[in-house]
Each structure stands twice: as C-alpha cells, then as structure tokens.
Amino acid sequence: MQLSGNTILITGGGSGIGRGLAEELLKLDNEVIIAGRRRETLEATVAANPGMKAIVLDIENETGIREFAAKIATSLPRLNVLVNNAGIMRAERLLEQQEDLADAEAIVRTNLLGPIRLTAALLPHLKEQPHGAIVNVTSGLAYVPLVLTPTYSATKAALHSYTESLRWQLRKTGLEVIELVPPYVQTHLMNGAEDPRAMPLREFIDEVISIWKQQPTPKEICVERVKPLRNATAEGRYDATFNGLSNAMAGEL
C-alpha cells in the first residue's frame, strides 16, 4: 500500500490509536477524514490538525452506515483507503451479567458488525479506486483472549477471521487487505492511558508507520510488543500465555 496521496477514512479517529494514525497519515500527504460518534471529540481533533476533516458516524447504526457510505462515496470520490478502527472494550463479569446483555451486544455491534457493514457498503466504490486498501484493526487479544473482556476478545478474533477471508476473496481486485494488530497501548480504552504496563501511544504509532512503509506492505502489521500474543499458538506457548493473563486478572473477577 502506498503511504501518501491517498484519501483515507478512519473510524474512531477522534482519539487513541485512530487519532494517532490520522495525524501521522495526514503528515504523509494524505487527505484524512475521521469518523466517530462524538462530534466534540472529532471537532477538537480537526482543530488541532489543519486540513483534516471529520464526519459523525454511529457505527452501531445499520441504516446510518448505508446512508453514510452513499454520501461519502459521492462527496469523496477519490476515497481509496478504509481503516476500520472504531471499537469499545468493557469488562464483563459473566456471573453477574444482566439479562439484557447490553454491554456484550454493543461490543458486537461496534467491533464486528460495524466493520463488516461499513466494508460491505463501501466495497463497490473502493475496488474501483487505484491503490485501494482496507485496514482492519484487531488486537493481540484476538489470538489470546483476556478473560476480563470476553466479548471484546471474541469480536477481535472474529474480525481477524473475517479479514483473512476478505483478503482471499479480493485477491484479484487489486484492493489490499491489511490487519493491524495492536498490543495493550496507552489509550483511554479501559482507562489504560496512564498504565505503565501499556505501550506508549507515540511509540506504537511510530513503529506501525515504519512497518507500513515496507514494500510490499505486510498483510499483518505487528509491532514487537504484540508478537508474544500473536505467535503464542505457533510457538507452543498458548496455554502458558493464556493462563498467565488469566491469573493476572483473578483479582478483578
């Protein structure tokens, strides 16, 4: 994937990893549009980054996604890169779970159905664009789940699987499909912004961009900090890694 001269849409681009990617890609001479639910967050990010644009999008709303995609394909005819980054992460203590499963269902709608719906809505447009790409942001927890966040981990595993199939089905179109696999990064997701155990956001973004610049672009972008999770099964460490993560959460369950 070329890293300049694109028109890029980033969901969840007002904060965290999405904002970090948006700011760096803007510096690389791309037109960058961020989308998200919170207008005030989007406006603050755009104000801090002249030239960036923002559009409000509720990624949980199926009808809204179709309408959004139709409008953006018309207003941004050169749109050629979609970054499915929007996501929510909530702790779930399954023995105390409410009957309505509101948290679990919101996580599925945002983290899994949202990217699938938006990709489907924009695919007819994207596959006609030069140098097109779809980037799905999963997680190291797609490969080794965190027991405190079972639905989040499950949606990221499902998005990884979807990405694999999407890449294969689009192999003859010229549209690249890339999976970005973050480790635990210092963002406000699950209040991790100040956690010293998490990877500093700036370090994460810098390493991602350095990998992204490789030609050809790797189908998976994995910083060094996420490889213990990503490669746990292949290296025969899955049980030890899962048990280590689970035991670390024992006090919170």
DSSP secondary structure code for residue 112 in this structure? I
Q: In this structure, is residue 66 part of a structural domain?
A: yes
Q: In this structure, is residue 177 part of a structural domain?
A: yes
Q: In this structure, is residue 1 part of a structural domain?
A: no
The answer to whether 152 is a known catalytic residue is yes
Q: What is the pLDDT of residue 83?
A: 98
Non-local (6+) Cβ contacts of 219 within 8 A are 167, 177, 178, 179
Q: In this structure, is residue 2 part of a structural domain?
A: no
Non-local (6+) Cβ contacts of 230 within 8 A are 140, 143, 181, 220, 222
Q: Which residues pair with 137 in a beta bridge?
A: 180
Q: What is the pLDDT of residue 252?
A: 84
Question: CB–CB of 125/142 below 8 Å?
Answer: no
Residues of the chain with pLDDT under 50: none
Kindly report the CATH number assigned to the domain that includes residue 72.
Answer: 3.40.50.720
* Domain residue limits at 66: 7-252
Instruction: Find the DSSP H helices in 61-214.
Output: 62-75, 102-108, 114-126, 150-169, 201-212
Non-local (6+) Cβ contacts of 68 within 8 A are 35, 55, 57, 118, 121
152, 162, 184, 238: the active-site residue: 152
Q: In this structure, is residue 107 part of a structural domain?
A: yes
Q: Six-digit token pair at 3?
A: 């890293």
Give the tens place of pLDDT for each residue, 204-247: 999 999 999 999 999 999 999 999 999 999 999 999 999 999 99
Domain count, the chain: 1
Q: What is the pLDDT of residue 124?
A: 96
Q: In this structure, is residue 208 part of a structural domain?
A: yes
Q: In this structure, is residue 240 part of a structural domain?
A: yes
Q: What is the pLDDT of residue 100?
A: 87
C-alpha 67/C-alpha 28 separation (Å) is: 30
Q: In this structure, is residue 247 part of a structural domain?
A: yes
